[in-house]
Every structure is written in structure tokens, then in C-alpha cells.
Amino acid sequence: MASPPNPQPIGSPDPNDNLPLVLVHRLPQFTTTFNHWLQPHFRILEPSDPSFSIRSKTVRALFCMGPTPVNSETLDQFPSVECVVGTSAGIDHIDLAECNRRRVMVTNAGDAFSEDVADYAVGLLIDVLRRVSAADRFVRGGLWAVNGEYPLGSKVGGKRIGIVGLGSIGSMVAKRLEPFGCIIAYNSRRKKLNVPFPYYSTVQDLATNSDALILCCSLTSETRHLINKDVMMALGKKGVVINVGRGALVDEKELVEFLVQGEIAGAGLDVFEDEPNVPKELFGLDNVVLSPHKAVTTPESIERLRKAIVGNLDAFFANKPLLSQVKFE
Amino acid sequence: MAESKHLPKVLLLGPPNVFQIHGKHFSQRFQFLKPFESPIPTDQFLAENCGSVQAMMCSGDTPVTSDLLRKLPAVRIIVTSSAGVNHIDLTECRRRGISVCNAGTVFSEDVADTAVGLVIDVMRRISAGDRFVRSGVWPVQGQYPLGSKVGGKRVGIIGLGSIGLEVAKRLEAFGCKISYNSRTKKSSIPFAYYPSVLELTINCDILVICCALTDQTRHMINKEVLYALGKEGVIVNIARGAIIDEKELVACLVDGKIAGAGLDVFENEPEVPNELFDLDNVVLSAHRAVFTEQSLWDIYELMSGNLEAFFANKPLLSPVIDG
């Protein structure tokens, strides 16, 4: 047998000792683990491991569960880490600048979720415009027989859709909405070549020219509260906001005010600033669709995530190019 | 108003929703006889006022029976506000040479949008998730159950008319694989055709019903078809409730024989089987797949356009029967 790459502490005659070591970094409240994904291919190091204090100083790969923060303190604690592998598309919980400074590579879920998020975003848009969930409540409440007709919806076709962030999710949303007869435009950090849709250099301009905004961009210091009072005023009383990005892309307090006052027409929200807390004022509104941050969750996307995570770790340990590295810009 | 006496007379039954919303516009072009506003019984009203009336306007749930038509000896055209014409005795109309005009393709896009919205909602549990959040349970219960991916699923469309085609076009963009059953195979259509509903169902994950209700299609979706759809299968109905054996559907949903359903129509509207209210895998709608402001304006224009064409002896805009 080949000798293991690292010195073995006494009492761990594990045949898997040949496998590369991966630190599992998770907040205590995350009781679901993906350890069963990792264990066939890697050795796992967790705080509960008796050799943690030693091995944590030499481990090279960190597996970051969900929104567990990775910041300077984390990187100080694990000084040999060269690669951070995340489980989400959004990595606003990882200090990308700090990682870049220390030459630590970061990977995200890549495209694992894009289709499912795009499907969901379109579902939310149709729901808000055509009042699908509100009608479902109406019928379940036994009101159809009593109250008769229910308020009109608004036609999806012909609506001007402003996509904020034309990455893989945003592009898929556009592709799905075109056959509905929607008119697509977008804002992104940079204009994209070979894209047939009109580009607006600011979200404000996009909002002025849109009936609905669909937020598909990442949360960064530049995009925090991107959708603010001015943007919502530009969107107007008939405007709709769909958010499948991150709650903090929207000034949530302002959004609630606008919705309660009828200054915008409706919203479909999968994400919130302080999940799982949702502003209670929204519970009484019929023109809002609320979702518990699950735009990604299908069995298929979970499997794609598994492949992305294992693939990225395999590539790292083999000194090959990572599958879904997020570069600091 | 005195002016209205010069306008062509139209018997109004129902009345359809579009009249409730655009009545003023309609009344600028036609003089409507409204038995529902009269204190005398309908039969008497018809006998006294409608002996020479040539045109009739009705809603999608006004039964236009041979009995009724017998009381209207001069009627030559019926304009319904619906796409469906299952409420009209078409045989009698053909016999009498009465033209029948429906909603044509005015509603097709909005209905298709609703159908797709229901597919996504059932598969991805959007309304169920909304209930979960509104109940305040998210902070307590944490994660919500997985939905099922829409893309890549096999979608079987029953009835590839204008609505069915719009549904197909939309779901293709999600990466779904489309197949269909129709009365006849459509030669120019690239989707796979199955000669029977049962065969179609065996080969798909999501069934979307977009066909008309006729004697042949009543209870077409029966126990056998539902069992063939299977435990992972989903059904969406935006056509007519009676195309599905509703009792069987409810039993299959309650027993988990199919995975879920999105229903805009029911056998006995506005009654909805109460067992459905407790199910999280069902999305219910109050027969409003057509109801947008835009479509109501479009149907107003189409219906009044058909009537004007009739009175001017011009070609009808959306005839189902051209008497």
C-alpha cells in the first residue's frame, strides 16, 4: 500500500486516509449535511474530529455549506486553505476580495441551478400578473360560490420585461419569456455582445422602460439595495418586481411601503433581507407571492450541485482548471 | 334613449362578463333585449319581444338548447363570449341554418399563459410555498419540500388547436419535450403524435388539456388514463371540467395515484370538491384563464364585430358554423 500523504494520528486506521482532506465549514444551524456526497471521494474534517486543531492548519480545501460566512477570520483560522467550494450560485457570504488577496480560489454552484431558477422566476411572474395563488386562495376559501367573479389579471404577453443581470439565469429567463410575447430588455455590469435585447446602462433607465423587473444578478457591495425608492418610482404603479437573487438587492422596507400604498402593482419574492423572517405586512396582500427561498430546489438541480461540488474538488486536487470558479473583479 | 331604437336588436342572455364590463360600448352599437332585467318570466318575455329578433349574444354557460331556439323563430346568428361551444345545440343550429360565432383565437394566449402558470405552480409548488410563508411557519419549520423540475419533462397536449399550440410553444422554451393527441394528426407540426389519449399519457409526465368538450371527449380522462399518468404525473385542465371524470380525479389525488393537478375548470362550477382544499399538490382557479383586461377588450371587439358583419351581410369574423 502507498503510504498516506500526511502523518497519521494514532487511532485512525481508516482506509480512506489516502483521500484528499476537505474541511466542512458550516454554521451550527445547518443540520443537513452534504457529507455523504463528499465521503466517497474525500476525507472529511469537522470541528468534532479529535485531530481538528492540527489538521485544520494544513487542510487545503474548504467546503462551505450554504450561507456560512467565509471572511478574514475564517481564512486566518485555516491558513493553508487554497480553495473554497460553495454550494450556492450566490456567494455574497464569501469575502471574494479577501480570498483574492490571499490567492484563495472560490467556486460556486455554477450553472447547476440556472434552469430551475429561471423556471421559477417565470412561474412567479405569471403568478403575480395572473393572480394564480390569489385565485387559489379565493377558491380554497370557498369564496367562488359566494363571491362569484374574481378580479381580472394582467396579460403576460406584450409586457416589457427588464432583466437585471443577464448571466446564465437572466438569459434563461429571457428565452422562456420570449414565446409569451414579452419584450425583453436588460441591465448588466457591462453590455453583452451578440445579445438581441436592448441594453440600459442603469437600473433606473431599465425600470422607466419596463412593466416588470426580474432580479437575476449577484449581491455585491455595488448591488446592495439596487432596487430602491427611485427605481420603484420609475417602475410605476403598474410595475411588478420579481426577485430570485438575494433579498438585499431590494430595499425591503421601501418595497413593503410601495406595495402597501399601491405605488407598485405587485411582487414575487423568493428571497428576503432577513430570512426566514418575512415582513408581516406582506401576508395580507393579494398582489404578492411569497416563497421560502426555494427557487433552486428540485431533485435534478440538487444532483447537478453534487456533480459541481465533487467536480470542483477533484479538479482542485488534480491541479486542473476548476469547473465553476468565481473570479474577483 | 331614443337613438337606440335605430340600432339593430340583439337578444342578450347570460349576460357574459364582457357585457358587464363593456356594456356601454356594446349599447352604442346595438339595442339589447334583456330578459334577465325583466320582471316577467323569460318564456313570456321571449314570446312578447323576440319573435323577430335575428341575433343573440350569450355567455359560455348559457344553455342554448333546441327548446330555446324553438322560441326564437327568427334567430339567424348566435355569438357566444366563449371559445367553447359545448353549451350550444350545434346540430339544431345546423338544421336551422343558424350561424354560431365563438371567441376565435382571442383568448388563446391568455389561456396558454394560465396553463403554463399552472404547470409551473404545481411542479414547483409555488402556491403551496406561498401558503407556507403566509402561515408564518418558515422560521419554525425551515426547509420546504422539493419541487419537481419543469425542464426536460415530457408534456402531452390534448387538443393541438390554437390554445394547445401556444402552450407547446411556451413549454418548449423551458426545455420540455412536447407530444400531442388531437382528432387528426397535424402534418406540419414537429411534435410527436399519439393516436390515443391513453398512449399519449403513458408517454408523458405532464398532461395539459386544451380540447373542446364534446360527446366524444366527455370523461375522456378517466380512471385508466389517470392511472397511466402515474404517481409522478401531473394534469392541468384549462378546457372544460367534464373532460375529466372529476370523482376519479379527486380519488387519485387523495390516494396519491397522481402527483398533482392544476384546475381552472370543474364539472359543476362554481362547486369545487372540498377534498381538494386540503391538498398541497393542487392549484385551483375560478375559471378565469381568459380574464385579463386585454382579452376582455379583445372579445368585446370580436363579438360586436361579428354582429356588425352579420347585420351588414359581410363575412363573419369567427364562425364555428356559418349558416
Write the pLDDT tens digit of every residue in A15-60.
Answer: 556 899 999 999 887 777 789 999 999 999 999 999 999 999 999 9
CA distances from A270 to A126, A163, B117, B297 (A): 14, 16, 16, 33
- Burial class of A130 by CB neighbour count within 10 A (0 to 12, 13 to 18, 19+): buried
Listed as ranges, residues in chain B with pLDDT below 70 are 1-5
Q: How confident is the model at residue A13 (pLDDT cuts 50, 70, 90)?
A: low
Handedness of CA A216, A222, A225, A228 (dihedral sign): negative
Do residues B121 and B320 make contact, with C-beta atoms less than 8 angstroms apart?
no
**Residue A16 pLDDT:** 58
Which of B189, B169, B238, B236 lies closest to A177 in space, CA to CA? B169
Q: Is A144 on the interface with B (CB under 8 A)?
A: yes
Q: What digits encode the pLDDT tens for the residues A83-97?
A: 999 999 999 999 999
Determine, for residues B109 and A157 on separate chains, whether the beta-carbon distance falls below 8 Å.
Answer: yes
Q: Which residues of A touch B173 (CB under 8 A)?
A: 175-176, 178-179
Nearest-CB residue to B173 (from A130, A138, A178): A178
Nearest-CB residue to A292 (from B144, B269, B291): B144
Backbone φ and ψ for B119, nearest 5 degrees, come out as: -60, -50
Which of A168, A211, A213 lies closest to A186 in space, CA to CA? A213
- The distance of B166 to chain A (nearest Cα, Å) reads 8
Q: Is A298 on the interface with B (CB under 8 A)?
A: yes
Determine, for residues B174 and A176 on separate chains, whether the beta-carbon distance falls below 8 Å.
Answer: yes
Determine, for residues B272 and A179 on separate chains, whether the beta-carbon distance falls below 8 Å.
Answer: no
Half-sphere exposure of B195 (CA within 13 A, CB side): 0
Residue A188 confidence (pLDDT) above 70: yes
Q: Grid coordinates in use for A21?
A: 482532506
Long-range contacts of A169-173, Cβ-Cβ distance < 8 Å, separation of 24 or more: A169/A89, A169/A113, A169/A114, A169/A117, A169/A118, A169/A121, A169/A216, A169/A244, A170/A214, A170/A216, A170/A217, A172/A114, A172/A115, A172/A117, A172/A118, A173/A118, A173/A121, A173/A122, A173/A214, A173/A216
Determine, for residues B132 and A292 on separate chains, whether the beta-carbon distance falls below 8 Å.
Answer: yes
A:196-215 residues touching chain B, CB 8 A cutoff: none
User: Concatenated DSSP letters for B257-317?
Assistant: SSSEEEES--TBTTB--GGGGG-TTEEE--S-TT-BHHHHHHHHHHHHHHHHHHHTT---S
Determine, for residues A133 and B150 on separate chains, whether the beta-carbon distance falls below 8 Å.
Answer: no
B87-110: buried (b, 16+ CB within 10 Å) or exposed (e) per residue? bbbbebbeebebbbbbbbbbbbbb
Q: Is B280 on the interface with A (CB under 8 A)?
A: no
**Residue B2 pLDDT:** 47
Q: Which residues pair with A199 in a beta bridge?
A: A186
**Residue A49 pLDDT:** 93
Q: Which residues pair with A161 in a beta bridge?
A: A184, A212
Rounded to two decimals, the pTM is: 0.90
Backbone φ and ψ for A176, nearest 5 degrees, come out as: -75, -35
At residue A45, the 3 state secondary structure works out as: strand
Nearest-CB residue to A301 (from B113, B142, B149): B149
Q: How confident is the model at residue A1 (pLDDT cuts 50, 70, 90)?
A: very low
Q: Is B121 on the interface with A (CB under 8 A)?
A: yes
Q: How confident is the model at residue A281 (pLDDT cuts 50, 70, 90)?
A: very high
Nearest-CB residue to B117 (from A127, A138, A139): A127
CA–CA gap between residue B269 and residue B124 (Å, rounded): 26
Q: What digits encode the pLDDT tens for the residues A289-316?
A: 999 998 888 889 999 999 999 999 999 9
Pairing of strands B99-101, B319-321: antiparallel
CA–CA gap between residue B255 and residue B253 (Å, rounded): 5
Q: Is B110 on the interface with A (CB under 8 A)?
A: yes
Determine, for residues B113 and A119 on separate chains, whether the beta-carbon distance falls below 8 Å.
Answer: no
Determine, for residues B149 and A277 on separate chains, whether the beta-carbon distance falls below 8 Å.
Answer: no
